[in-house]
Amino acid sequence: MNKTMIKKAAAILLILCGLLAAMLVLTHPAQNGRRTTEILPEINGEPVYVECEAGVPVEASLCAKEDFTAGGFWVLLVNISEESRGTVRFAVTDGASNLLLNQVIPVESISPGKWFLVEANIAFAKGETYQLSILADGSEPYFMQVPEGGAESLPFTMAVEKGGEPVDCGISLGVNVAEEVAVTYGEILYYSVPVCILAALFGIICVAFGFRRVRECVGRVPFGEFFTRYGNDLFLILLFSAVCLSIYSRAYLKGVYISADSAGYLREAVNLTAGNGFHYDGMAGYDSWFANWPILYPAFIALMMAVTGADAYLASKLLTMVIIGILLVVIRLYFKKDAWVYALCLTNIGFLNLSYYTWSEIPFMVFLLGFALTLAGIVEEEEPGGRRYFVLGLLGLCCFLTRYFGIYVWIATGAYILHFFIGALKKKEKRAFKKPVMLTVTAFVSGSLSMAYLLLNKIMNGMASGVSRTLWWDDYEKLTNDLIESLLTEVFNVFSLQIPELIEGFPYQLKVFVVATVIAGLVWFTWKNCRPFSRESVMIFMGVSYYLIFIVIRYFSSMDTFYFRFFEPASFLLCFAFIGLLLPYLRGKRGFHFFGGAVSILVILAAWSLFENGGMDTSDSYYAQLAGQWDKAYEEIPERSVIIFNDIDFRSSYYRPDVVEGTISPADSLEDLRTVYYGSEYLCIRREFAEVMLRDGEYEESVAALLKEGMAENTGGEFLVVPLSGSR
C-alpha cells in the first residue's frame, strides 16, 4: 500500500471519527427538555365581543379536564388604541385562593387582533377549578367571543363572568400546554443529523476520488441547460400548485371567505343550476331578477358545479384555480421565456386575498389583462386584422358582464380612438381612418350589448344595476383618509408586504407625501423608459384610467369605502407594465437568475409549510363545520319559507336558497304579508321575537292572531313555524 492510499485511508478514518463524535453529541438527550403545544379556541367569525370595562373584572373559571402544565395563556384582544397608556392585569388563583399568576401588562405592548402570550408556569390538576381574573385599568380592550363548542380543544372548560354576572359565551383565551419530553440535541438543531451524514459522505467521496475530479463531474451535469430550457415552465407549474394549495387550505379547510356579495353570487349560481335563470330567488318561489351584479361570474360557478358536482362554495374555489391556470397559460403564451417574472404578480397580497374570497375580481382581471394586451397589439400594429377587433370587443363585453365597472374599458379606448382620428385627419389618407373606424365600431357594438343588458335589468328589476347607486351620506374626510391608506396598501401589497409600522403610524398628512413621492417616482421612471403607444404604455394608461375613473365615481356615488378589492385590478395591470419596463435592466444579469431560484425556493417552502402546519388536514374542515352549524340553524325551517327578522349567519343565504328574509311592521296585516311574501308557504320567526311582538301589543290584529295560533299549536323549538295560507 503506497503513501497516497495510506493518507486517503487516514483521512476517511478521521472523517468517520468526526461523524461518530458528532452523532454521539447530537443523539445525546438534552437536560430539562419540554415540548410546548399551542391550543387556541375557535373564534366567532362575526364581530362580537366581551368588553373589559375599566375596573370591572372579567373572570373565567377554568375546570381542568386533565392533568397538565400551562406554560402561558394566549389572549386575543381588540379595541386597543395606540394612545392608550393603561394596563391589563392577569391573575390566576386555585381553589384554596393561592395566587399562582399575577402579571400587569401595559396595554400598548399588546397588538390588537393578534394572539398575545401571557407567560406562566402553572400545574393544573384534573377536576380542579382555577380562577383567571382579567382587570383593565385605564383601557377598555375587548375579547372576541368563542361560539358554543369552539373551546372543546382546550384542556379545560371555561365559564365566564363579567362583574359577577354570567356571560353566555367563552372568550378568546388559549393556552400553551408544556410537557416534559426526552429530546436530543439533534432534534433541537433542525437537520443537523442528515447534514452531518451528507457532509461526511461528501468528504469521503472527495478523499477517494479527489476534489477536482468530483467538481468536474458535477460541472458536467447540465443543470444550467435544463433550467434554461424548462425552468420557466417549471416555475409556472410550481406557482400554480402553490396558489391552488393555498386557496384550498385557507379558503376551504381552514376558513370560509364569504362576504355579502359572495353570498349573492353563490345564491344565483345555485338557482342557475336549478334552471331558474336570472331569478336568484326562484327556488324560494319569487321572480326576483338578478341585477345587483352581472351574470357572468355566477354563471361560471354554476358551470363548475355542473361539471364537478361540487357544492356552490367549493365550486367557486375550483373555478378560481382554473381561472388562475388560464391566466398563467396566457402569460406563458404572450411573454414566452419571461413569463415567470410576470407570474410574480400572482404573489401580490391583494391578488391572493381576492383569490380566497368568492368575488368576481379574479375573472375580471383576466379579461382586463387580455383586453389591454389585445388593445396594445392593435395600437402597435399598422393594420391589425379583423380577428383582433372581434377579440377586443368580446373581452370588453366580458369585462362588463363580470363587473359593471368594466364598461370603463371603452372610456379608456375612446382616448385612443380620438388620437387616431386626429392623426388620420392630419395625414388625410383614407387608409389611416381604418383603425379608428374599426375601434369605434367595435366599441359601439360591444358597448351597445352592454347597454342592452342594463336595459333588460331596468325592465325586469326597475333599476339598471339592481339597486340605487345615488349618493347617501358620506364622511368625506374619512373617505379621503381611506383612499390614502388604500393607495399605500397597494404599493406594499405588490411586494407581499404589509404597510411598515413606521409608515402606518404617520398622520394622514404625511402619508399623502409618501403616496405623492411614490407616484412621482413612478411617473419619472415611466417618462424615462416608456415608449409611447407601446404595450407597457397601454397597460399603464388602462391602469391609471381605472384608478382615476373609479375614484371620481366613488366620490359621487356611495358604496363600500376604498380598499384593496377595488384597486387590485388596476394595480395588476400596472405591475405587468412596470415589469416590462424593468426587464431590459435585469435580463441577462447573473443575479437575475439567482433571484428566480430564490423565489422558487420560497414558493416551495410556502407550499411545504401548509402541510407542516396542518393546513391540508381534511379531517378538520372549517367549511364542513360551518355547514354543520347551518344545518342545525335551519333544521326547523321548512322549504319555501320566509324568516322574519332573520338572525342566522348571512353567509348561509346561498345554502338555503329556498328561504328568503322578511320583516313585519306594526301596520302590516296578514293579507299584506301574503301579498309581499307570495312565494313562501311558511312564515318562520324565533319564538322569543314572537313573544316580544305579542307582549308589546302594537302589531296588527290579524298578524297577532296568527302568531298566537302558532304559539298555541307549536310549544317546542326555537322557531315558530306557521303556514301562510292563501299564499300563491
- Condensed to tens digits (0 to 9), the pLDDT of residues 523-571 reads 999 999 999 999 999 999 999 999 999 999 888 887 777 878 889 999 9
290, exposed or middle or buried, with CB in 10 Å at 0-12, 13-18, 19+? buried
* Same domain? 195 vs 215: yes
pLDDT at 226 over 80: no
Q: Which of 658, 563, 543, 573 is nearest to 357 (CA)?
A: 563
Asked whether the beta carbons of 463 and 413 are under 8 A apart, the reply is: no
Paired sense of beta strands 641-644 and 682-686, if any:
parallel
211 or 417, which is more confident? 417
Whether residue 79 is found in the same domain as residue 164: yes
pLDDT at residue 217 above 70? yes
Report residue 1's pLDDT band, with 50, 70 and 90 as the boundaries. Answer: low
Lowest mean pLDDT segment, chosen from 97-101, 322-326, 404-408, 502-506: 502-506
pLDDT attached to residue 470:
66
* Cell numbers that stand for 536 in this block: 407597457
| Residue 228 within any structural domain of the chain | no
- Which candidate, 313, 266, 627, places its Cα nearest to that of 274? 266
- 175 & 188 share domain: no
| C-alpha distances in Å from residue 109, one per residue of 86, 88, 139, 152, 625 | 10, 10, 12, 29, 34
| Residue 80 sits in the same domain as residue 205 | no
From 168, 201, 221, the end of a domain falls on: 221
Q: Are residues 38 and 23 located together in one domain of the fold?
A: no
Mean pLDDT, to the nearest integer, of 441-466? 92
Q: Is the dihedral of CA 282, 287, 289, 295 positive or negative?
A: positive
Q: Cβ distance 2 to 9 under 8 Å?
A: no
Q: Is the pLDDT of residue 238 over 80?
A: yes
Position 241, amino acid: S
What is the per-residue pLDDT across 498-528, written as a single tens digit (0 to 9) for each? 888 788 888 888 989 999 999 999 999 999 9
Same domain, 190 and 138: no
Q: Which of 181, 183, 182, 184 is nearest to 22 (CA)?
A: 184
C-alpha to C-alpha distance for 395 and 446, rounded to whole angstroms: 9
**Separation between Cα atoms, residue 181 and residue 82, nearest integer Å:** 41
Q: Cell 413621492 maps to which residue?
A: 517
Residue 495 has pLDDT above 90, yes or no: no
Band (727; pLDDT cuts 50, 70, 90): very low
> Is 381 part of a structural domain of the chain?
no
- Give me the helices (H) in 357-430, please: 361-380, 386-402, 408-427
pTM (two decimals) = 0.82
Q: What is the pLDDT of residues 275-302, one digit of tens each?
A: 999 998 999 999 889 999 999 999 999 9
Domain boundary among 124, 148, 180: 180
Q: How far apart are CA 323 and CA 317, in angstroms?
A: 10
Please report the pLDDT score of residue 473 as a whole number: 64
Mean pLDDT value across residues 485-499: 88
Write out the DSSP string of 161-195: EETTEEESSEESEEEEEEEE---BHHHHSTTHHHH
CA distance 472 to 557: 7
Cα distances from 266 to residues 78, 316, 713, in angstroms, run 31, 8, 36
Least-confidence region, from 90-94, 249-253, 615-619: 615-619
Is residue 137 assigned to a domain? yes
Task: Pick left, alpha or beta for residue 570 (phi over 0 → left; psi -120 to 50 → alpha; otherwise beta).
Answer: alpha
pLDDT the model gives residue 471: 56
Q: Is residue 639 part of a domain?
A: yes
Last residue of a domain, one of 221, 243, 276: 221
Q: What is the count of structural domains for the chain? A: 3
- Cβ atoms of 704 and 693 within 8 Å: the answer is yes
Q: Is the same domain home to 71 and 10?
A: no
> Does 72 share its domain with 168?
yes
Range of the domain at 190: 3-29+184-221
Q: Is the pLDDT of residue 468 over 80?
A: no
Owner of C-alpha cell 384555480: 321
Residue 191 lies in a domain: yes
The position carrying cell 343550476 is 273
Read off the C-alpha cell for 431. Answer: 387608409
Residue 412 contacts residue 569 (beta carbons within 8 Å) = no
Exposure string of 190-202, with b = 16+ CB inside 10 Å and e = fewer, is: eebbeebeeebee
CA-CA distance, 493 to 348, in Å (whole number)?
A: 5
Three-class SS of residue 721?
strand
- Which pLDDT value is given to residue 378? 94
> Which stretch, 25-34, 194-203, 430-439, 653-662, has highest mean pLDDT?
653-662
- 653 compared with 613, residue with greater pLDDT: 653
Alpha carbon of residue 275 to chain centroid: 30
Q: Which of 709, 701, 706 has its CA nearest to residue 724?
A: 706
* Sheet with 659-662, edge to edge strand ranges: 659-662, 641-644, 682-686, 719-723
- Same-domain check for residues 45 and 167: yes
User: Are residues 176 and 50 part of one domain?
Assistant: yes
Which residues make beta-bridge pairs with 642?
660, 683
What's at 109, amino acid-wise?
Answer: S
The reported pLDDT for the residue numbered 203 is 87
What pLDDT score was predicted for residue 728?
39
Q: What values do phi and psi take at 682, rounded to 5?
A: -130, 150
Domain with 42 in it: what CATH number?
2.60.120.820
- 386-402 vs 434-461: helix axis angle to the nearest 10? 30
Q: How far is Cα 214 from Cα 208, in angstroms, rounded to an integer?
A: 10
Maximum CA extent, the chain: 114
As a whole number of angstroms, the distance between CA 340 and CA 599 comes to 10
- pLDDT tens readout for residues 38-78: 999 988 767 788 888 888 899 999 999 999 999 899 999 88
CA 719/CA 637 separation, integer angstroms: 8
pLDDT tens for 132-190 read 999 988 888 899 998 888 888 899 999 999 888 888 888 999 999 988 777 788 877 88
Q: Specify whether 176 is located in the same domain as 39.
A: yes
- Per-position DSSP letters for 63-81, written without gaps between them: EESS-EEEEEEEEEEE---
247 belongs to a structural domain: no
Write out pLDDT tens, residues 83-132. 667 889 999 999 888 999 999 988 888 888 889 999 988 999 999 999 99
For the chain, the average pLDDT equals 89
Residue type, 93: T
3-state secondary structure (DSSP) of residue 16: helix
Q: Is 293 part of any domain?
A: no
Q: Is the pLDDT of residue 593 over 60?
A: yes
Average pLDDT over residues 388-395: 96
Q: Is residue 107 part of a domain?
A: yes
Are 267 and 653 in contact by the 8 Å Cβ rule? The answer is yes
* Neighbour-count burial of 373, counting CB atoms closer than 10 A to its CB (0-12 exposed, 13-18 middle, 19+ buried): buried
Tell me, yes or no, whether 203 and 131 share the same domain. no
The most confident of the ranges 181-185, 641-645, 722-726 is: 641-645
Show Cβ contacts of residue 511 under 8 Å, excluding neighbours closer than 6 positions: 484, 485, 488, 503
pLDDT-based confidence at 452, cuts 50/70/90?
A: very high
Percent of the chain with pLDDT over 70: 97
